[in-house]
Structure 1
């Protein structure tokens, strides 16, 4: 379905107050690229085989759009929203109500962004990124050129202005989190009239990627285990997203290899160090606090989804290890108890050891928009039982995005709106 077709369908639905399936709009596997069970069927469109198995890295050309949202995803969401189907309509309404999703948003680009230390101004960046993403979503789902123009103008303003991301060690967080989020907004606007993709790609390669590369290579000069899983994961996300955006298979492969084999805490076996009975697995930051542990669900979920849309199944790596971690985290944050294995790691520059001896209750029950994405894959695509994750989804549905979870940076760590974009059925 083209954007023009999507816009016409959407307008017709609004005009007639359609609440059932829209006449003349197909939801067949041929149109959406998925079967009724939610398994991808078109290798060309989705990068998976007819049996639903991901192709190996490098086996296919890079697919566009191919980060958090594929064309099949966008077509499916447009159809559900146009039909007034729930929960997608509730997710759409949540998007429409967000101040960042308005076509009146105006960019405030800066030449230098600072996170950590004196002169911090990074909130300007993450607010504009979320506005670009949310307006881009509105355009891709409804076809509204007013919102497309706003997303384009935000992206162009920053690519024509930003030259430096700096600060203390937190600059690496900024380069990772905002790097992959920025790339996702740009991927949605690929091909849009007036969007300077080439200049945006140069910004991503010249401003964000050097910090990503430095962190994965040197870890700020610290012991390899000093930085928590989320530091690696956001950096890996940015490398992967920039690779897709820039059609750079080497970067895509580098990020995926790090997920499988990296020495830092973001690689899957380090991020999820212990398996437990009952289909559970302990997250690396579980003894630290629950806010960052929940952030880990969002970061690893985003990485796996972007890889999936490039034909690589990391969700299923090591016997669905990530699914078991999601169940562990969801169970504890729903108020139930979980087992805990003492976790020891090296800190600082000399790898001085520290140990967590119990799961942390700090931030327990915090609400973050991280659950729909992982539930949509494991329960929706794969048909796996995810009872605790399903309960977590129900507790936060419909998920919002940046601007819906407070004004500090934690409220912008995920792009969100998973109910709209990731719910399946």
Structure 2
């Protein structure tokens, strides 16, 4: 039996329609014409990591007007411990993180201080209360004056999560607040270049969420450092990894593989895709692992595309079909559709985090794609909070943001 058209297209108007039917075998049909490849920007825009000045101005206006969902999202952020003016930074010279942050020697502290700095930077911009900017600076200065290395097996991923968040905070403070001393800005940049960048810039052959998070960190660091070489390397990695993470039937009978992956046989590819041997539009390399890690990757994909768009190199058209299908496919099961037996043995584990706002706003609101189930899931879960890793407050920053 053929896969329902709604599921195949990633639009998923009725979850019940897609519930238990087996998909048609993937074909090698020719792919649709690709959009023109976006060119690298001539100059960097600031603030320009995940959020732009015009986006921040929109959010500030909506919150000050008491408009929803932005006011509720702001209240949620403001009430969180991340926004506390009494927060004490907990920097370490060496952060040691094993698998799943075990052991956790500074791992949680580092990630949460980075999220706090970003939270405080957002609150500074919205309220113009300089206490929030100063607290964000205190956190950034504490870590830049202390951190020297990351160790143990999760060091690359830990570096990626933290370095995805730090530049968001630093960009807002550096370019909208005059009270961060130049020598401390330089020291912060040195930390990004010397401590974080070596751990993330060359990517990973691990599960796709690793390399996508590392790419997000790399592009954010590049923007803060105004480093075109690093930026271009991140975009190249992104263009190789996204097609290898999200499957479309136009890829052929098997998913694409990332450059250098070594996945050169059908058995190796299926094993890498968690044993899944039936491939449909929007399935990801980690769907059958669990939806939480899948969400990390989807979030990183949207974040990289959003940063590149702000920088004048819009990568969304290149990845739109993959990202909207991935969001729609995962969303249909998050909304309660029964998992068919051909998908992950009939069981999906865990759940998506607060990861849909950025991609949904870009693809639905800006590019006009119908995304029925993604919209339903996104609106149902507002306001989106934080995963306590690297995604935070995206209803506030990106819900219906036209900029």
Q: Which category describes the TM-score, using the shorter chain as reference length?
A: 0.7 to 0.9
Aligned to 1:321: 322
Partner of 1:70: 52
Give the Å deviation of 1:96.
Answer: 0.9
**Aligned ranges 1:6-21 → 2 under 5 Å:** none
CA distance in 1, matches of 2:61, 2:168: 22
User: Which secondary structure does the structure 2 equivalent of 1:336 belong to?
Assistant: coil
Q: CA deviation at 1:240?
A: 0.5
What is the CA distance between 1:55 and its match in structure 2? 8.8
Tell me the equivalent position of 2:389.
413
Over the aligned positions, Cα root-mean-square deviation in angstroms equals: 2.2
Question: Structure 2-normalised TM-score?
Answer: 0.77
In structure 1, runs of 5+ residues without a counterpart are: 1-52, 262-266, 343-356, 402-410
Q: Which residue of structure 1 aligns with residue 220 of structure 2?
A: 241
Deviations 1:277-311 (A, max 9, x none): xx942111111111111222212111111111111
Instruction: Tell me by how many angstroms 1:171 deviates.
Output: 0.7
After TM superposition, list the pairs within 5 Å mapping 1:88-99 onto structure 2: 88-99=70-81
Residue 270 of structure 1: aligned partner: 244
Q: How far off its partner does 1:337 sit?
A: 4.6
After TM superposition, list the pairs within 5 Å mapping 1:271-420 onto structure 2. Answer: 271-275=245-249, 280-318=281-319, 320-337=321-338, 358=345, 360-363=347-350, 366=351, 368-401=353-386, 411-420=387-396
Among residues 195, 205, 210, which one is paired with 2:198 in the alignment? 210
> For residues 225-282 of structure 1, what are the alpha-carbon distances to aligned partners after superposition, in whole Å with 9 as ceiling and x for unaligned?
xx11101011101111110010001111111111113xxxxx1111112349xx9421
Residue 421 of structure 1 deviates from its aligned partner by 0.6
Aligned pair in 2 of structure 1 residues 206, 416: CA closer, same or farther (>3 Å)?
same
1:201 shift after superposition? 0.6
Offset, 1:95: 0.8
Distance 2:304 2:320 in 1: 17
The alpha-carbon distance between structure 1 residues 339 and 209, as it changes in their structure 2 partners (threshold 3 A), is farther
Shift of 1:162: 0.6
Give the Cα–Cα distance (whole angstroms) in 1 for the partners of residues 331 and 171 of structure 2. 31
CA distance in 1, matches of 2:395, 2:357: 6
**2:24 aligns to what?**
none
Instruction: State the Cα distance separating 1:332 from its structure 2 match.
Output: 1.5
The secondary structure found in structure 2 opposite 1:165 is: strand
Shift of 1:414: 3.1
Corresponding position of 2:39: 57
- Which residue among 239, 242, 250 is the counterpart of 1:260? 239
Q: Size of the alignment, in residue pairs?
A: 331
Shift in alpha-carbon separation, 1:67–1:197, aligned structure 2, 3 A: same
CA distance in 2, matches of 1:203, 1:126: 15
5+ residue gaps, structure 2, are 1-34, 251-279
Contact 2:111 2:162 in 1 (8 A): yes
Instruction: Give the Cα–Cα distance (whole angstroms) in 1 for the partners of residues 321 and 67 of structure 2.
Output: 30
CA distance, structure 1, for counterparts of residue 395 and residue 129 of structure 2:
21
SS where residue 150 of structure 2 aligns?
A: strand
Q: Distance in 1 between matches of 2:342 and 2:231?
A: 33
Equivalent position of 1:180 in the other structure:
164
Give the Å deviation of 1:315.
2.0
Equivalent residues of 2:164, 2:217 under 8 A apart: yes
Write out per-residue CA displacement over residues 139-184 of structure 1, whole angstroms, 9 at most, x where no aligned residue.
Answer: 011111010110011101111111111112x111011111111111
Helix, strand or coil at the partner of 2:49: coil
Q: Which residue of 2 aligns with 1:424?
A: 400
Counterpart for residue 264 of structure 1: none
- Measured in 1, the distance between the counterparts of 2:400 and 2:169 equals 22
Q: Among 54, 60, 64, which residue is 1:82 paired with?
A: 64
> Residues of 1 paired with 2:36 and 2:292: CA distance?
31
**Structure 1 residues 210 and 318, CA gap change in structure 2 (3 angstroms):** closer
The aligned residue for residue 32 of structure 1 is none
**Mapped partners of 2:186, 2:174: distance in 1:** 10
Give the direction of change, closer, same or farther, for the CA distance of 1:359–1:157 in structure 2 (3 Å limit): farther
Deviation string, structure 1 residues 124-149 (Cα, Å, up to 9, x no partner): 11121111111011001111101011
